[in-house]
Amino acid sequence: MSRFQDQVVVITGGSSGIGLAAAREFDREGARVVITGRDAAALSAATQGLTNQPLAVQADVTNTASLDRMFALIGEKYGRIDVMFVNAGIARLAPVQATTEQVFDEIFDTNFRGAFFSAQKALPLVKDGGAIVFTTSYFAEVGLAGTSVVSASKAALRSLVRTLASELIPRGIRVNAVSPGVVSTPLFGKLGLPKDAVDEIGKSLLEQIPIKRFATPEEIAKAVVFLASTDASYITGAELPVDGGRTEL
């Protein structure tokens, strides 16, 4: 039997990139996948490749009322969540001196505040013995120039993983994070920079990766599925780097 047969798996930011790849992996493992995101058309397209009665919910993680509606719908339909993958995030690159308050607030509202309240509002539905997985980033470990706000938002998430894991031990809910390196996803093209600048950054980043290639979304997704599964039953509060050796070698 598949590891997630008939389990309810909720994925924020599930219409593209790592979120969509994870949705497909969980779907193959028998899960009833709920994907959420802001773009209705992208959500509809994403469900086409899922086979086990997927549910797409349009929601904005930066809006708590939207989150309330989302979890009310999930609760009404399923009554529980077995796995919560808190994945929605954005990236904008700029040096500290050029970072505006608007960019700062946008990044933290999505990457930390949105993730925090996504997890908080999911908790009444997450079953005892379930799992929560966050997406952090290797940015928080390496001090890469131009990533100050994104890196700080992901460092805050890393701290949250530890504290939430500690709080949820009495319920048997494991809380972990997957920390991707550079991944070939649409997000890489949404950094708020001209294409030639993005290409130059990509070339520079590639030179720093020991394995000498970018990750695929599917490689990150498999790590997420592992952390959510009973194969990781003795792991909680951890962050699993999936970065081609970037932070270790």
Lowest mean pLDDT of 46-50, 200-204, 213-217, name the range: 200-204
Q: CA dist 57 to 24, 130, 199, 239, 244, Å?
A: 16, 21, 34, 28, 33
Residues 61, 64: Cα–Cα separation, whole Å: 7
CATH class of the domain comprising 8-242: alpha beta
3-class secondary-structure state, position 211: coil
Categorize the per-residue pLDDT at 197 as very low, low, confident or very high, splitting at 50, 70 and 90: low
Share of the chain above pLDDT 90, in %: 88
Whole-structure pTM value:
0.94
Residues 133, 190: Cα–Cα separation, whole Å: 24
Q: What's the pLDDT score for residue 2? A: 87
Average pLDDT over residues 63-82: 98
239, pLDDT greater than 70:
yes
pLDDT digits (tens, 9 = 90+) for 139-195: 999 999 999 999 999 999 999 999 999 999 999 999 999 999 999 865 455 555 556
Residue 79 DSSP code: S
**Terminal-residue alpha carbon distance, the chain:** 38
Lowest mean pLDDT of 54-68, 116-130, 178-192, name the range: 178-192
Q: What's the pLDDT score for residue 205? A: 84
Q: What's the pLDDT score for residue 203? A: 80
Single-letter amino acid, residue 137: S
